[in-house]
Amino acid sequence: MEYFPRADDYVSDYNLDNNTFPDLIPNAIKQNDSLTKDNISLPSSTHLSSSGSSYYHKPLVKSFSSSTSSVRKTPLKVSFSKFHVTRSNRAGYNKIYEIRRSKSYFFELGDLPKDTNEIHLRIYTNDYHMKNTQNSYRNTSTTPNDRYRISCMLTHFFSSQRVLPRKIQQKYFSLIRDKLLARKEMISSRDNSTRERNITTKTFFYFTYKKYRFHFGIYIPCHHEDVSSLPSLPNRICTVPSPFVMSKGRRACVSHQPSFFKNNILHNVRNVQNGKQREHPNAFLNDKSSHANLLFNKWNRREKKQVHSQRLGISYMESLHARNKGAVLQGHNKFMYRKRFDNFQIEQSKNARTAKRQDIRHQRSCRRIFNRKEHNREDTMRHRLITAQRYRFLFLNSQYVNKPIKHLRYSRGLEYPDYGFYTPYGDAYCIRPILTAEPFNPIPDMVIPSKYRGVIPKVPVYTNSGSYIVPGSRQWFRYIDNVLQNPPPRSTRAFRRAQRAADLQNEIQEELRTQTPLQGTSHKRYFCRKNRKDILTKESNNHYDGMSDLMKQYNESDDLERKIAICKEMEIFNQRAGNHTRRIINARTFKLLPLDAASDTSDDTKEIE
C-alpha cells in the first residue's frame, strides 16, 4: 500500500530547504489499513545520500540530532474548536450548520502571530464527538505556507475521525488539500473585490463517502456584534463561520443573515462599463411597490417565460395569472397573482452521456416526489397527479401547476384604491388593449393575373396545421394555382343528397359510440333500449296523471258508493299500466310483443347487460 502523506512524517534532508513541503517517504514501513492513527516510523539510513564525505557515514540518530540542533523549532499545534447555532433555517448554503445529516470542518488560515514561538491552528466544527486534544506537528518555519498548514490540519482531522478508512484517506488527501487552497483563492478574490454586486461565493465544498457527508471550508468568522441581554456584560463579536462572502468584505452567519440582508445588501445595482457607471433613464426602485407594478405589467401584457433546466433536461412554460373575484370572495384566497407552470417538455442533450445523466436526475426527482407514505398502489396515476399538485412538480405534458405569489394580497378589499401600486381589479390602473380584427379582404392590394381572378377564395384559407394563409403571399398564390390546376367537382342534387345521408349516418355512429356505454348494452340493441326507456317514461307519466285525477275525485267525493267505484277503476288502471310495462319490444321493428313472447336478446348482449 502506498504510504499516506502525513504532515508529521517529516525528516530534514540536508540537500533540501527546510521551508518547503516535505516529500513523500518512499521506503517507509507498510501500515495496516485501520481507522486509528498509526505510529510514525523514521526512514532507514539508506534514505540518506551516500556521498564521499565522511559526515554522511555517521549514525542516523546522531546526524539527525546534530542537524536539528542549529535549526530553530516553532511548534505547530492543531486542535478542534466547536461552534453551535440555534436558528432552524439550515437550507441552501446554511446546510453547513446541520448536525444530523452532515458535519462541517472549517480550517483556519488567518495571519500568523509574529511575537510568539508557538503556532496554534484551529479546525472549527459542529461535530461534538471530536476531542479537543491538541496535537503538535514538526515545523521549522516561523511562517509556514498555506499548503503545509492545510496538510497539518487535514492530518489532524483524519487522525481524529472514525469514518474514513486509510485507503480513502490516501486517495483523496491531495484532492481535498488542493480544493481547499483553490477555495481560499476564490474567497480572497471575492472578499477583496470592490464591485457593487450581491454575488456570493461559498466558503465550503462537500465531500461524501457512502452515507456520510463532510463540509470542508475555509474559516471566515461572521464578525457581527452580538448585543448582550444584560447591561453589565459587554457586547461580543460573533465567531460562527460564515457560509458565504460578498464583495467589500461582507459576510454573515445564519443568526445574523436577517439583519444582514436587510441592512447590508446593495440596492439599485447598476451596470459598470469601462470603469464608469452607466445611468439608466428610468431607474428601478427596489421596493414593494415597484415589484408589484412590475408583476402587474407582466400580467397585463400576458408575458410568458420559457424555463430550461440543463441539469434535468426538461423545459416548461411560466405565465402569470390574476385570481378572479369568485376565488377571492368565495374561496377566501386573498392572493393577487399566481404563477402557472405548464407545457412540460423533455429536452435532453444530443450527447448520449449527458442525456443519460439528465434522465437519471429526472427519474431521481420523480422518485423523491412520488415515494411518499400516502402512496396509493391501486390508483398510481391519480396519486401521482395529486402529489405533483401538492409539491408543485411537473412530469406530464398535459399537466399544469399553480403556485401563489404570497407577498401580494387583497388585505383591504378588491377595489380599495390606495394600495400604493396597481392591482388587477383597479379600474383606474387596469388598461387592457382592445383587440380588434380588420374585415377580411379576399382580394389583396396588388396586381393579380387574369387567370387567377376567377378562383380567388371568398373565405379565409388555412393550411392543414391550422395556420392562416395571408392573401397575396407566395403560399396563397400556390394554393389558388393548385385550385386552378385541380378544380373541385361540380355539386349535383344527387351528390348533396348522398352527402346528407352520409352526415346522418356519421351522426348515428357517433351517437352509438358515445351513448352505448351509458345505456349498458350493445350497439345492436341501443335503439331498442332507448325506445324502451322512452315508452316507460311515457307510461309512467300517463300513469301518474291518471292516478292523480282519480285520487282527486276520490278525495272530493262524499258518496261511499262513488268512492268504491273509483277504487275499482284505480285497480283496473294499475293492472293495465303493469301489462304495458312488462311487454317486450322487438329489436328490429321496435313494436310491442305479446306478454307471453320470448326474449330476443342475444347471449353477448345479456353478458354486457
| Set of cell numbers at residue 55 | 559526515
pLDDT the model gives residue 291? 86
pLDDT the model gives residue 132? 87
Q: What are the tens digits of pLDDT across the range 462-491?
A: 888 888 888 888 888 888 888 888 877 666
Any idea what DSSP says for residue 48? S
Q: What are the tens digits of pLDDT across the range 264-278?
A: 888 766 655 555 555
Pick left, alpha or beta for residue 523 (phi over 0 → left; psi -120 to 50 → alpha; otherwise beta).
alpha
Percent of the chain scoring above 90 in pLDDT: 27
pLDDT the model gives residue 253? 92
Residue 385 confidence (pLDDT) above 90: no
Handedness of CA 328, 329, 333, 336 (dihedral sign): positive
Looking at per-residue pLDDT, the higher value among 572 and 87 belongs to 572
DSSP string, 122-147: EEEES-TTS----EEE----SS--HH
Task: Name residues whose C-beta falls within 8 Å of residue 313's C-beta, 6 or more positions apart in sequence.
Answer: 346, 347, 348, 349, 355, 358, 359, 361, 362
Q: How many Å apart are CA 1 and CA 555, to the nearest integer?
A: 112
Q: How many Å apart are CA 187 and CA 249, to the nearest integer?
A: 10
Tell me which residue of 216, 191, 192 sits closest to 201, measured CA to CA.
191
Q: Which residue has the cell 462537500?
A: 206
CA-based radius of gyration for the chain = 43
pLDDT the model gives residue 50? 35
Looking at per-residue pLDDT, the higher value among 191 and 323 belongs to 191
Residues 422/429, Cβ–Cβ less than 8 Å: yes
| Set of cell numbers at residue 565 | 267505484
pLDDT the model gives residue 595? 53
Given pLDDT bands bounded at 50, 70 and 90, which one contains residue 432? low
pLDDT the model gives residue 106? 96
Q: List the single range of 136-150, 154-168, 232-246, 329-343 with lowest mean pLDDT.
A: 329-343
pLDDT the model gives residue 29? 36
Strands (E), 437-556: 461-462, 468-469
Output the CA–CA distances (angstroms, integers) from residue 164 to 40, 156, 175, in the order listed: 19, 13, 15
Given pLDDT bands bounded at 50, 70 and 90, which one contains residue 433? low
pLDDT the model gives residue 314? 94
pLDDT the model gives residue 52? 38
Given pLDDT bands bounded at 50, 70 and 90, which one contains residue 460? confident
Residues 319/403, Cβ–Cβ less than 8 Å: no
Q: How many Å apart are CA 96 and CA 251, to the nearest integer?
A: 15
| Set of cell numbers at residue 155 | 492530518
Give the Cβ contact number of residue 602 at 10 Å: 13
Phi, psi angle pair for 83, to nearest 5°: -135, 155
Given pLDDT bands bounded at 50, 70 and 90, which one contains residue 37? very low
pLDDT the model gives residue 493? 77
Residues 322/410, Cβ–Cβ less than 8 Å: no
Q: List the single range of 222-226, 373-377, 378-382 with lowest mean pLDDT.
A: 373-377
- Answering whether pTM is above 0.85, one says no
| Set of cell numbers at residue 374 | 400516502
Most confident listed range (11-25, 364-378, 573-587): 364-378
Q: What does the mean pLDDT of the chain come to?
A: 77
| pLDDT, average across residues 565-582 | 78
Any idea what DSSP says for residue 234? P
Residues 85/125, Cβ–Cβ less than 8 Å: no
Residues 315/307, Cβ–Cβ less than 8 Å: yes
Given pLDDT bands bounded at 50, 70 and 90, which one contains residue 604? low
Residues 573/546, Cβ–Cβ less than 8 Å: yes
- The H-assigned helical ranges of 70-128 are none
User: Residue 605 is which amino acid?
Assistant: T
Residue 6 confidence (pLDDT) above 80: no
pLDDT the model gives residue 214? 95
Output the CA–CA distances (angstroms, integers) from residue 190 to 154, 197, 508, in the order listed: 25, 10, 75
Residue 414 confidence (pLDDT) above 60: yes
Q: List the single range of 105-109, 154-158, 221-225 with lowest mean pLDDT.
A: 221-225
Given pLDDT bands bounded at 50, 70 and 90, which one contains residue 512? confident
Tell me which residue of 98, 156, 100 sits closest to 130, measured CA to CA.
156
Tell me which residue of 196, 212, 198, 178 sits closest to 244, measured CA to CA.
198
Strands 76-82 and 119-125: parallel
Residue 168 confidence (pLDDT) above 90: yes
Given pLDDT bands bounded at 50, 70 and 90, which one contains residue 167? very high
Residues 359/313, Cβ–Cβ less than 8 Å: yes
Residue 207 in 3-state DSSP?
strand
Q: What are the tens digits of pLDDT across the range 124-148?
A: 999 988 988 899 998 888 889 999 9
pLDDT the model gives residue 373? 63
Q: What are the tens digits of pLDDT across the range 436-446?
A: 767 777 788 78
274-284 CB burial, b ≥16 within 10 A, e <16: eeeeeeeeeee
Any idea what DSSP says for residue 34? -
Strands 212-218 and 103-107: parallel
pLDDT the model gives residue 244? 95
Tell me which residue of 401, 406, 369 sits closest to 387, measured CA to CA.
369
Residue 390 confidence (pLDDT) above 70: yes
| pLDDT, average across residues 410-417 | 72
Residue 172 confidence (pLDDT) above 80: yes
Give the Cβ contact number of residue 160 at 10 Å: 19
Most confident listed range (66-70, 157-161, 194-198, 222-226): 157-161
